[in-house]
């Protein structure tokens, strides 16, 4: 019998990629909800039973009934937007997440797998960073980190199993390119394909641990099949970091683009470097497989295709 999976934030980057993967594997029925605040309906794969709903609405419990697993990705997640509106950040990321746990509890789902973030390490100098570290600074990271305590309490008082995932910088097809300041990959690729000069904020020497969305999907599947992931937290990164200048050079070489980027003043509040200690996830037999050049090609193909369709 097919497993029934519910995904919140299914119209976003990570949610739509997971839905695609589950439907392609064929062993899953997928229901998805999203309020389309940031996601787009065109991104939801065919075959998903889609509901335009807000995670803060108590009526979502009816969608959870009959689900085996819930993946909770819906969030307000642009750090600078969150800094501008801490109240809405807490409302969506904390109250909304608790409402998702409550719905999962009432619907007796087997397990909820939810997105935390590597941003909770933003105040730490310890690299690579293990899961035992935490130094959230921004409203976004505090909102993400606090949900872990609710997850622990739902286990303690209601025996609801969960897994927390601390993604580093996830990239790949369907990555959000519509934001005012899009993630670096999308931003560089779009500008180069349009023959506009790409922009780097700061010196370009900040280093980031990038992980392809296919690799995190491998771990998502593991969360449903391996009980050793229950009630624990895992870093999901590649365990290698690159400077933004190195990323720029790789994209420019893949697109045979010769011009230099322009440098603008740094964005405030960003950590200088991140790097995941992934030994815990690796100890369960998972490891990242997509190398940077191959992964970047998949992002480039996606963006070229979106441009052809007139979406960009
Ligand atoms: N992409 C990354 O690199 C990364 C890194 C660390 C953590 N995360 C976390 O992973 C999760 C998925 O990230 P993503 O990149 O897919 O983000 P995304 O913005 O592409 O997707 C989030 C989705 O949630 C929806 N949403 C927002 N508020 C909602 C609400 N109140 N009710 C219902 N839907 C709502 C949005 O419309 C959007 O489609 C998020 O929780 C994010 O914080 C992502």
Task: Say whether pLDDT at 270 is over 80.
Answer: no
Mean pLDDT of 301-305: 94
Residue 104 and residue 160 in contact, taking contact as beta carbons nearer than 8 Å: yes
Percentage of the residues of the chain whose pLDDT score is greater than 70? 99
Cα–Cα distances in Å, from 300 out to 184, 193, 244? 12, 9, 17
Whether 172 lines ligand 1, by a CB cut-off of 6 Å, is no
pTM of the model: 0.96
pLDDT at 182 over 90: no
Q: How far is the CA of 256 from the centre of ligand 1 (A)?
A: 32
Of 134, 53, 63, nearest in space to 96 by CA:
53
| Residue-level pLDDT at 262 | 96
**Nearest protein Cα to ligand 1, atom 23:** 9
Instruction: Please give the pLDDT value at position 180.
Output: 65
Q: What is the pLDDT of residues 114-151, one digit of tens each?
A: 999 999 999 999 999 999 999 999 999 999 999 999 99
The whole-number pLDDT of residue 14 equals 98
| Upper half-sphere CA count for residue 239 (Cβ side, 13 Å) | 14
pLDDT in tens, 197-213: 999 999 999 999 999 99
Ligand 1 test: best mutation among 21, 77, 80, 89, most atoms within 8 Å of CB?
A: 77
> Can 177 be counted among the known catalytic residues?
no
* Tokens, residue 130: 């293990």
Q: Is the CB of 163 under 6 A from ligand 1?
A: no
């Amino acid at each position: 019998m097919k497993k029934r999976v519910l995904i919140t934030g299914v119209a976003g980057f990570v949610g739509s990629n997971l839905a695609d993967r589950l439907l392609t594997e064929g062993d899953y029925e997928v229901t998805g909800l999203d309020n389309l605040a940031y996601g787009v309906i065109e991104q939801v794969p065919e075959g998903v039973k889609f509901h335009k709903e807000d995670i803060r609405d108590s009526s979502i419990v009816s969608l959870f009934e009959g689900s085996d697993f819930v993946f909770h990705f819906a969030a307000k997640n642009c750090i600078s937007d969150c800094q501008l509106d801490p109240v809405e950040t807490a409302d969506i990321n904390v109250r909304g997440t608790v409402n998702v746990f409550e719905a999962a509890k009432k619907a007796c789902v087997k397990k909820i797998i939810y997105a935390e973030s590597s941003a909770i390490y933003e105040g730490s100098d310890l690299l690579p960073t293990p899961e035992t570290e935490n130094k959230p600074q921004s409203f976004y990271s505090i909102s993400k980190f606090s949900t872990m305590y609710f997850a622990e309490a739902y286990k303690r008082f209601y025996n609801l199993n969960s897994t927390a995932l601390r993604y580093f910088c996830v990239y790949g097809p369907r990555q959000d390119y519509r934001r005012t300041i899009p993630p670096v990959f999308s931003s560089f690729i779009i500008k180069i394909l349009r023959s506009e000069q790409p922009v780097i904020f700061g010196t370009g020497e900040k280093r980031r641990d990038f992980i392809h969305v296919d690799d995190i999907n491998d771990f998502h599947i593991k969360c449903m099949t391996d009980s050793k992931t229950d009630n624990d937290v895992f870093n999901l990164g590649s365990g290698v970091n690159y400077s933004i200048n190195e990323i720029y050079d790789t994209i420019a070489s893949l697109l045979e683009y010769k011009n230099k980027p322009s440098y603008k003043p740094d964005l405030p509040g960003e950590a200088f470097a991140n790097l995941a200690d992934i030994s815990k996830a690796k100890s369960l037999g998972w490891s990242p497989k997509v190398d940077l050049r191959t992964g970047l090609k998949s992002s480039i193909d996606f963006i070229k295709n979106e441009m052809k369709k007139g979406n960009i």
